[in-house]
Amino acid sequence: MANAPRNAWYPLTWSRDVGRTLARHKVLGIDLVVYRTERGEPVALDDVCPHRLAPLSCGKLKGDAVECGYHGLTFGPDGACVRIPGQTTVPTSARVRSYPLREQMGLVWIWPGDAALADTAPVYDLPQYHSPLWHAVEGEALHIGTSYLNLADNLCDPAHVSFVHLSTLGNAASEDIPVQHEVVGKGVVVWRWIRDAPPIPLFAKYGNFSGHVDRWHYYHYDAPCIAVIDFGSAEAAAALDPAERDRGLRIFACHFITPVDAHHCIDHWLHVRNFALSDADVDQRLHEDFRTAFNEDKEILEEIDRVERTRPETRRIGLAIDAAPKKMRRIVERMIDAERSPLAAE
């Protein structure tokens, strides 16, 4: 994939879905076979035997090694061939690439680029995910038929909520509230406050508010694949300062994006909240609410992808709300340029 940097941590799949069976995955157009060793460590190898190019995922897991299902060549977790049936010598060329992996926030993350750079690059972490004052609930892996950058556009864009998510995350009170943004490091933060307005359907359901609320959206995008939305509500009479958001009902909706190929991505989503910490019923109801909302995004994004394919000549117009998504894409472009040529990136 030409529109995604390689030197970054990408979500591969949920940790809960990696076990002692061979599974196929694709990230940045790279076919992978994924499994766990007997000690529980995740492994990702190129899904191709270098002999006749049979997919290793069609083979068998033997101990910690993968046996090709065509001629029995066997590869260890580091990608080196450890056995060739019928001959005692193993050429050094008999190996496949093994990718650096980490586990964080319930996900296995993969580094598709220069492996030497992976050890010094931290994997994204949300402090509230680990706090006893918050409650984290894993979501799903939503497959969306569009470029990961189109999904990233959506996740840098509070304005769409007022029109796409009227049954869950938005209402008309926010339609004309402008958004603000700033570039922070290799990311963008986009935000707005809606003061003294009716609560959105989701918080009306869980907040038991007596009247109007103040509510906020902070969209934190960290290039190239992480978007965390901090949103919540509090009684308008409380007149919360932005630094006091923990006094209201507050949720972090986390979106960890896997670019599969040019027209397919996966949104691994979860939420972290500061209310109803031990209520399994709220877990399930919120899960259904978020599933509804994110499938609304899926529907519109797949339609956009269809139009992009069928009408590539159509020009787009720019609006004020596009400033943050444009800067997000420039950040990604600079990351790609830096990999191709450090001088060009500067």
Distance CA 139, CA 153 (A): 21
DSSP category for residue 98: B
- Look at residue 346 and tell me whether its pLDDT is greater than 70: no
Q: What letter represents residue 203's amino acid?
A: F
- Which segments within the chain are labelled E, that is strand? 10-14, 23-27, 30-36, 42-46, 60-62, 65-67, 74-75, 81-83, 101-104, 107-110, 135-144, 180-184, 187-197, 213-222, 226-235, 249-261, 264-273
pLDDT score recorded for residue 345: 45
Report, as an integer, the average pLDDT of 292-309. Answer: 96
Task: Name which of 270, 14, 227, 231 is nearest 135 in CA terms.
Answer: 270
Would you state the CATH architecture of domain 127-340? Answer: Alpha-Beta Complex (3.90)
Contact by Cβ (8 Å): 73, 66: no
Distance CA 220, CA 227 (A): 6
pLDDT classification of 166: cutoffs 50, 70, 90: confident
Report, as an integer, the average pLDDT of 151-155. Answer: 96
- Look at residue 31 and tell me whether its pLDDT is greater than 90: yes
**Residues 38-48: tens digit of each pLDDT:** 999 999 999 99
Distance CA 28, CA 4 (A): 7
Report, as an integer, the average pLDDT of 202-212. Answer: 91
Looking at per-residue pLDDT, the higher value among 237 and 266 belongs to 266
- Look at residue 140 and tell me whether its pLDDT is greater than 60: yes
**Residues 57-87: tens digit of each pLDDT:** 999 999 999 999 999 999 999 999 999 999 9
pLDDT classification of 344: cutoffs 50, 70, 90: very low
Number of helical (H) and strand (E) elements in the chain, helices listed first: 8, 17
DSSP 3-state percent helix, strand, coil across the chain (nearest 5) = 30, 35, 35
Distance CA 142, CA 227 (A): 15
Report, as an integer, the average pLDDT of 233-242. Answer: 92
The answer regarding whether domain 10-118 maps to CATH 2.102.10.10 reads yes
pLDDT score recorded for residue 167: 86
Percent of the chain exceeding pLDDT 70 equals 99
Contact by Cβ (8 Å): 327, 216: no
User: 142 pairs with which residues across the strands?
Assistant: 267
3-state secondary structure of 162: helix
| Tally of residues, the chain | 346
- Look at residue 292 and tell me whether its pLDDT is greater than 80: yes
Parallel/antiparallel/unpaired status of strands 42-46 and 30-36: antiparallel
Domain boundaries, the chain: 10-118, 127-340
